Amino acid sequence: MEPPVPLPVEQAIRKLGSDISLARRRRHISQASLAERMGASLSTVRRMEKGDLRVPIHFFARALHVFGEIQSLENLLDTAKDDIGLTLMDENLPKRVRSKAGTSGAL
């Protein structure tokens, strides 16, 4: 049995689906045309726009690509700007670095 989906996850997927629907309509693209451009079925686009949690993420990525927004997905978790991850990593740095026997330590 799968664990329940956390409410914030469900809300985020629903919002993304709703935003995709709005972006599509603002661009005067039909669901059928979006499906064709994405290489997906019409029912997949409809489910995606409703925020169906069973729609694989690659379909959301394909929709973003059609809208010219794929970089938004690429930058979601930019590890170079991950303050928490970088802080945790820095906390584990050694206090001192000793050279091994027989090495000078110079580069």
Write down the pLDDT at residue 77.
86
Of the chain, the end-to-end C-alpha distance in Å amounts to: 54
CATH code, domain with 31: 1.10.260.40
Write down the pLDDT at residue 78.
82
Write down the pLDDT at residue 81.
83
Residue 12 within any structural domain of the chain: yes
Residue 32 within any structural domain of the chain: yes
Residue 82 within any structural domain of the chain: yes
Residue 101 within any structural domain of the chain: no
Residue 58 within any structural domain of the chain: yes
Residue 25 within any structural domain of the chain: yes
Range of the domain at 13: 7-91
Domain total for the chain? 1
pTM score: 0.77
Write down the pLDDT at residue 2.
85
Write down the pLDDT at residue 51.
97
Write down the pLDDT at residue 82.
83
Task: Quote the CA–CA distance of 1 and 33 in Å, as a whole number.
Answer: 37
Pick from 59, 63, 69, 14: nearest CA to 34: 63
Write down the pLDDT at residue 105.
59
Q: Is 5 exposed, middle or buried (0-12, 13-18, 19+ CB in 10 A)?
A: exposed
Residue 71 within any structural domain of the chain: yes
Return the structure tokens found at 1: 């049995």
Render each residue's pLDDT in the chain as its tens digit; 107 residues: 889 999 999 999 999 999 999 999 999 999 999 999 999 999 999 999 999 999 999 999 999 999 999 999 998 888 888 888 888 888 888 888 888 876 665 66
